[in-house]
């Protein structure tokens, strides 16, 4: 129950932050401000309010997280109408093959060596593979699969969501706004 309460608090504050940012003229996806709010709360509440029990890094949070991720992926896959693009199957397969090859080469030649060639780098590489081929939830699913088999990698779970979900969307908001003014 404390995890659900924490999630609702983060969502409420994230929603309010999104409304405020929107009033300033910036449009961000709602999940970006909710994610940032949750990150700030998870880092500052235990530090400044030590008596308050914060459910970070608990089994209950892991269960809710796994359930939510699975639900999101199932809803995303069920809502896809693949038959509408059946005529593009050939070109899409070629693009997918080239994208997969580019992602593998980037991971092996740039990302893994740059991140230090250790376990954290391997988990980040798995996450980047999911991000390059899909989206942030796919990246989290890949990283979760690796860490369930080989052990935790908390740094990777901080870096990838921040970069893939937060920084990319914030950068996209500015880039798209700039492109629209051209």
What is the extent of the structural domain holding 163?
86-182
Establish if 55 belongs to a structural domain. Answer: no
Residue 93 φ then ψ, to 5°: -65, -40
Residue 164: pLDDT band with limits 50, 70, 90: confident
Establish if 28 belongs to a structural domain. Answer: no
Overall domain count for the chain: 1
Residue 173: predicted pLDDT: 76
Residue 168: predicted pLDDT: 81
Establish if 105 belongs to a structural domain. Answer: yes
Establish if 153 belongs to a structural domain. Answer: yes
Residue 123: predicted pLDDT: 95
With a cut of 90, say whether residue 89 has pLDDT above it: no
The residue written with tokens 């950068």 in the block is 171
By mean pLDDT, which of 2-6, 26-30, 103-107 is the weakest? 26-30
Establish if 23 belongs to a structural domain. Answer: no
Q: What is the pLDDT of residues 101-136, one digit of tens each?
A: 999 999 999 999 999 999 999 999 999 999 988 788
In 12-27, which positions are buried (b, 16+ CB within 10 angstroms) versus exposed (e)?
ebbeebbeeeeeeeee
Closest listed residue to residue 163, CA positions, set 147, 144, 139: 139
Residue 175: predicted pLDDT: 87
Establish if 37 belongs to a structural domain. Answer: no
CA distances from residue 166 to 14, 40, 123, 124, 154 in whole angstroms, order as listed: 13, 13, 19, 16, 17
Establish if 64 belongs to a structural domain. Answer: no
Mean per-residue pLDDT, 56-79: 83
Residue 8: predicted pLDDT: 93
Q: What is the pLDDT of residues 35-60, one digit of tens each?
A: 889 888 888 888 888 887 888 778 88
Kindly state the percentage of the chain with pLDDT values over 90.
Answer: 35
Mean per-residue pLDDT, 75-79: 81
Establish if 182 belongs to a structural domain. Answer: yes
């Amino acid at each position: 129950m404390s995890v659900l309460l924490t999630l609702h608090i983060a969502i409420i504050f994230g929603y309010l932050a999104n409304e405020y940012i929107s009033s300033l003229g910036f449009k961000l996806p709602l999940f970006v401000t909710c994610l940032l709010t949750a990150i700030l709360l998870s880092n500052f509440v235990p530090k400044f309010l030590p008596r308050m029990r914060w459910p970070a890094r608990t089994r209950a949070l892991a269960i809710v997280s796994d359930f939510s991720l699975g639900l999101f992926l199932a809803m995303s896959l069920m809502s896809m109408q693949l038959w509408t693009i059946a005529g593009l199957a050939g070109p899409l397969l070629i693009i997918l093959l080239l994208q997969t090859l580019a992602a593998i080469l980037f991971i092996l030649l740039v990302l893994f060596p740059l991140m230090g060639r250790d376990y954290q780098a391997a988990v980040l590489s798995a996450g980047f593979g999911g991000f390059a081929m899909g989206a942030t939830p796919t990246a989290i699913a890949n990283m979760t699969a690796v860490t369930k088999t080989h052990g935790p990698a908390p740094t990777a779970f901080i870096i990838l969501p921040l970069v893939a979900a937060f920084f990319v969307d914030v950068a996209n908001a500015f880039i798209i706004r700039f492109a629209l003014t051209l």
